[in-house]
Every structure is written in C-alpha cells, then in structure tokens.
Amino acid sequence: MSFSGGVDAYDRFMGRYSGPLASSFADLVAIDAGHRVLDVGCGSGALTRELGRRVGFASLSAIDPSPTMVAGTRMRFPGLDIREASAEALPFADHTFDAVFAQLVVHFMADPVAGLREMARVTRLGGAVAACVWDQAGGTGPLAAFWTAALELDATAADESNLPGTREGHLGDLARDAGLEVVLEKALTIVVEHPTFEDWWEPYTFGVGPAGAYLAGLDPQQQGALRERCRAMFPNEPFSLTAQAWAVSALVSSG
C-alpha cells in the first residue's frame, strides 16, 4: 500500500485526522518522562510528536517500513531514534520498552497477530501495548464519505471495511491472539473542521493509501463523477467531520 508520497502529502490526507487522534490514544497508557516508548508505523510523526512530548524524545524510538516516511520524519525530529522496519520484525531486543504504540497501523500489517506479538516481545513484563484503527467497517472512519460515494458508483470498489481491526471488537481479538492481556477496549472520537469541500477533496488526489490509490486508478471521467458524488454529500461549507477509531490497551503479562 502506498505511503511513499512523503510526509507533507500524508499530513494533508491523513495527518489532519491522526494528529487530533494522537492525544486521546496516548492517554490510554500511563506514560511519564523517561519511560522508554516505541511508536510502530510512525508515518509522518503525528503520534511521535505526542509521545515525545510526554516522555522526552531521548526516551522515544520509532519505526516505519516506508523509506520516504522515515526520511521525512527524521528531518522533523532531529536526533530521534527512527528506523526503517516493520512491526513483524522489530529491530529491538526483548523487553526494551515500557510501552509500545501503533496508531492506524495494524490494518496495514501483512500479519497483524505477528506484528502485535512482536510489539509484546519488545515490551517489558508489566508494560503496555496499545493499538487503534479507524472504524472503517462501521462506517464512522474519516474516509467513510469517500468510500460510500465510490461504492455507489462501483459496487466492486475495494473499500477498507474488510481490513483487520476495523470492526468493533476485532482489534481486541487480534491482541488476545497475540498473547496479550487486553485491559481496555474503547472508541475514540475526533472532530475536524473543513472550511471547504475542496479542502476535504484535494488530498485524495495525492495518491496516499488505499483511497488515494483507488482514485488514481480511475479515468478522468470516473474521477469527476466520484468527485461530484462526494460533493453532494457535503452540501454546506464549512462542515465538521466526526470520526471514530477502535482502540485497545493491553498488558504484557508473559513472554
């Protein structure tokens, strides 16, 4: 899946929603200055920034498999320990961290249970693993309007509702399958203001993630039809978009 367009395109497309999510997600685990923390799938650094603010950037590490994300985020946080790696093969010794977070990443893992198991492996006994994913199956994620319009025009459009962790309860199931002791499952809600429809739409044309790739694969006429269908969903400007993510926090009690 394409997250290779660079941190600025990613921020315009998804960082505008993942930034506001980061604070309530980080609140799920009690972390404090000096705690060793890992941000898995850091992308452009929305959660990285929030975690660094809480524990200090010297205590924080981050990984992402996308070289362009790693390069861009490294420039944003000079001196940060940020590495090119996947959740399924973390380049850290057992029990290195007090807490390990993955914001909007589990659904993109090639093997979500293996990724969560790796996150547990690098966490100390008694430490925490936390993950969250947009409620794409329930239709309350931030991309819901786009995919609703796309499906109205093309019933075969591969929306993101079948991805792991995107339906209620599934993230908890995946965490338990990975051997974690789930202590909290909850919905997190964000509200983002869009001054205009164009502000909402333009980042879909940047080719980021499954939605951007889907749009890029349409011919110009199909793109125009989808844009107009989306336009009809937001009749008044400005408008606010409310979105919900499923989140879990779990204890590492063995390993």
Ligand X SMILES: C[S@@+](CC[C@H](N)C(=O)[O-])C[C@H]1O[C@@H](n2cnc3c(N)ncnc32)[C@H](O)[C@@H]1O
- 188 near ligand X, judged by CB under 6 A: no
* Smallest gap from residue 21 Cβ to ligand X (A): 7
Residue nearest ligand X, Cβ-based: 43
Read off φ and ψ for residue 45, nearest 5 degrees. Answer: 100, 20
- 18 near ligand X, judged by CB under 6 A: yes
- Name which position in 5, 7, 9, 14 contacts ligand X (CB under 6 A): 14
Strands (E), the chain: 37-40, 60-64, 81-84, 97-103, 123-134, 181-194, 239-251
- Name which position in 9, 46, 131, 190 contacts ligand X (CB under 6 A): 46
Choices 10-18, 153-161, 194-202, 226-234 (CB under 6 A): range interacting with ligand X? 10-18
Who's near 73: CB < 8 A, 6+ residues apart?
7, 42, 43, 44, 45, 48, 62, 64, 80, 82
- 59 near ligand X, judged by CB under 6 A: no
Taking a C-beta distance cutoff of 8 angstroms, is the pair 255, 125 a contact?
yes
- 105 near ligand X, judged by CB under 6 A: yes
215: enclosing H helix or E strand? helix 209-216
Give SS3 for 46. helix
- 47 near ligand X, judged by CB under 6 A: yes
Taking a C-beta distance cutoff of 8 angstroms, is the pair 171, 247 a contact?
yes
- 249 near ligand X, judged by CB under 6 A: no
- Name which position in 60, 69, 157, 226 contacts ligand X (CB under 6 A): 69
- Name which position in 9, 37, 40, 144 contacts ligand X (CB under 6 A): 40
Choices 39-47, 141-149, 165-173, 211-219 (CB under 6 A): range interacting with ligand X? 39-47
* Smallest gap from residue 3 Cβ to ligand X (A): 4
- 15 near ligand X, judged by CB under 6 A: yes
- 88 near ligand X, judged by CB under 6 A: yes
- 55 near ligand X, judged by CB under 6 A: no
Residue with tokens 């790796």: 118
Give SS3 for 59. helix
Going by their DSSP bridges, the two strands 239-251 and 181-194 should be labelled as: antiparallel
DSSP state of 45: S
| Binding region for ligand X (CB under 6 A) | 3, 14-15, 18, 40-43, 46-47, 64-66, 69, 86-88, 103-105, 108-110, 115
